[in-house]
A and B are shown apart, each in its own frame.
Chain A
């Protein structure tokens, strides 16, 4: 039995390296996504407050690179769903693989992509500040939270990576459900929309459970457990599925 387990790990790892090379196209899409987000956030800022007493008008534009992170979250969700599709699962077939090794290498790829996207989207935030610093009228900038301390930068990276992991696990799980039955493709959005509208208190408590967590270790713990559970269910779901064409 032990030799088989070694085999599984060895082949999963082999597949993981194969996928790192094979899916570079997906990473290119992330870079495009982030640049697009940057372009959208630069010109007008994300919010504007204007007030006037008749003689003086004060208008404040609020700039933030958070749109880059939001876009990156969308990206990781689509990648996670994409990996569960038949087209991508079929790419495992010419390799030495079974369902489990395919899923493990997918998870490996997704987590690597999360780290990459988390680091780069935080760095795009820095790039954003640099561009602002050199192109805007500096006397008009309110330097509140403008200069990132390295520790803040690292914290933002870690938190972004954790959110990415959560979203990728969620995307992978939903993608796998839709592979089990096409019915889920319709029911999942309906259920999500319905729950959001009807059980607002429940949704808020769920969001608070993750977003409202102030302790980083506890936050990381919550995210990791949720992701492991979601990935685990996805793997169990897919294990009995046939490779259809």
Chain B
């Protein structure tokens, strides 16, 4: 059964379409990464899934129910981002005890364990926390609520690298112990790679890719070498990314299956065949121009 079904989903703000005829399905009990550039529509999509925003058109079902304004979906969903607001009368420790009764699977032991580990001051109000601490605290809520659908929208904003790594570890450990559907949106794909099972790449509100993390890793290959030689191999095929170097040298990223049979031949021509990191690949796939920012400087 799929946790989220989304068909032809559109969300427009006036004339601008934040989400544009998007269709996908997310299976239950998987960790999915929602990847996209700034303004790709990640947050809009996640807020529709969490039931905060109403889709303009199309079908969206979370656990077979329309999420907007639904109490049943809210009971099964936890949405974590850095704008979560709590009353100032509640201290951090109050928040943990007061929010707990709302969620059926809340793990208070883990909550106090993580709370102590990050050495929060129990008497502090939430609004006084620094950006990174706020994200850390919110991520605790996301993990310990153990909701069937847990959504993290840019959970690592402001966290330092040590805390980020701890967060990934904690999330993975608790997920293994208590599997549930998790969606993470983030810019830092390179850090998340180990964690994610599936990757949904969106760009300008449309789906670019929806693959398992393994498939994405194997999707493309980079070739670097003499421009003429490289181009002769990729002639007529769709180039994902192209970057020119000095002295007629060129770097090209292309789908692996296009050139799989020719690897030996390519290597013999003195062309380097390199793996492409998923992080770079996602950037290339959602780039507005093929040449990257270098093009801007060349024009001048």
Kindly provide the distance from the CB of A30 to the nearest chain B CB, expressed in whole angstroms: 14
Closest B residue, CB atoms, query A91? B85
Does B90 interact with chain A (Cβ within 8 Å)? yes
Query: A4, A24, A242: which contacts B89 (Cβ < 8 A)?
Result: A24
Q: Are B74 and A239 in contact (CB under 8 A)?
A: no
Q: Report how far A25 CA is from B89 CA in the complex, Å.
A: 6
Which of under 10, 10 to 19, 20 to 34, or 35 or more describes the interface residues of B? 20 to 34
In the complex, which residues 83-119 of chain B have their Cβ closer than 8 Å to any Cβ of chain A?
Answer: 83-90, 94, 98-99, 101-103
Query: B69, B75, B84: which contacts A99 (Cβ < 8 A)?
Result: B69
Q: If A22-B98, A243-B53 touch, does A94 touch B86 (CB 8 Å cutoff)?
A: yes
Q: Of residues B79, B83, B86, B103, which shows the largest number of chain A Cβ atoms within 10 Å of its Cβ?
A: B86
Q: Report how far A218 CA is from B155 CA in the complex, Å.
A: 56
Closest A residue, CB atoms, query B98? A18
Does A138 interact with chain B (Cβ within 8 Å)? no
B90 partner residues in chain A, CB cutoff 8 A: 21-22
Does B71 interact with chain A (Cβ within 8 Å)? yes
Kindly provide the distance from the CB of B79 to the nearest chain A CB, expressed in whole angstroms: 7
Does A226 interact with chain B (Cβ within 8 Å)? no
Kindly provide the distance from the CB of B127 to the nearest chain A CB, expressed in whole angstroms: 11
Does A163 interact with chain B (Cβ within 8 Å)? no
In the complex, which residues 203-245 of chain A have their Cβ closer than 8 Å to any Cβ of chain B?
Answer: 239-240, 242-243, 245
Contact indicator per residue, chain A 90-105, by CB within 8 Å of chain B (1) or not (0): 1101111111110000
Kindly provide the distance from the CB of A9 to the nearest chain B CB, expressed in whole angstroms: 11
The number of A-B residue pairs with CB atoms under 8 Å apart is 74
Closest A residue, CB atoms, query B95? A94
Does A23 interact with chain B (Cβ within 8 Å)? yes
Q: Are B98 and A242 in contact (CB under 8 A)?
A: no
Closest B residue, CB atoms, query A15? B102
Does more than half of chain A's interface fall in helix, strand or loop, or is it mixed?
Answer: helix
Kindly provide the distance from the CB of A207 to the nearest chain B CB, expressed in whole angstroms: 36
Q: Report how far A239 CA is from B141 CA in the complex, Å.
A: 27
Does B72 interact with chain A (Cβ within 8 Å)? yes
Query: A95, A100, A243: which contacts B99 (Cβ < 8 A)?
Result: A95
A22 partner residues in chain B, CB cutoff 8 A: 86-87, 89-90, 98
Q: Report how far A201 CA is from B113 CA in the complex, Å.
A: 67
Q: Report how far A22 CA is from B97 CA in the complex, Å.
A: 12
Does B54 interact with chain A (Cβ within 8 Å)? yes
In the complex, which residues 70-106 of chain A have their Cβ closer than 8 Å to any Cβ of chain B?
Answer: 87, 90-91, 93-101
Q: Report how far A245 CA is from B84 CA in the complex, Å.
A: 10
Q: If A14-B101, A243-B53 touch, does A97 touch B71 (CB 8 Å cutoff)?
A: yes
Q: Are B85 and A14 in contact (CB under 8 A)?
A: no
Given contacts A21-B89, A94-B141, A101-B71, 11 further A-B contacts (CB under 8 A): A21-B98, A22-B89, A90-B85, A94-B78, A94-B85, A94-B86, A96-B102, A97-B74, A100-B69, A239-B69, A243-B47
> B residues bordering A, Cβ < 8 Å?
47, 51-54, 69-72, 74-75, 78-79, 83-90, 94, 98-99, 101-103, 141
> A residues bordering B, Cβ < 8 Å?
4, 7-8, 11, 14, 18, 21-25, 87, 90-91, 93-101, 239-240, 242-243, 245
Report, nearest first, the 10 A-B pairs whose CB atoms are least far apart. Answer: A22-B87, A243-B52, A96-B102, A90-B85, A98-B71, A96-B75, A24-B89, A25-B89, A98-B69, A96-B74
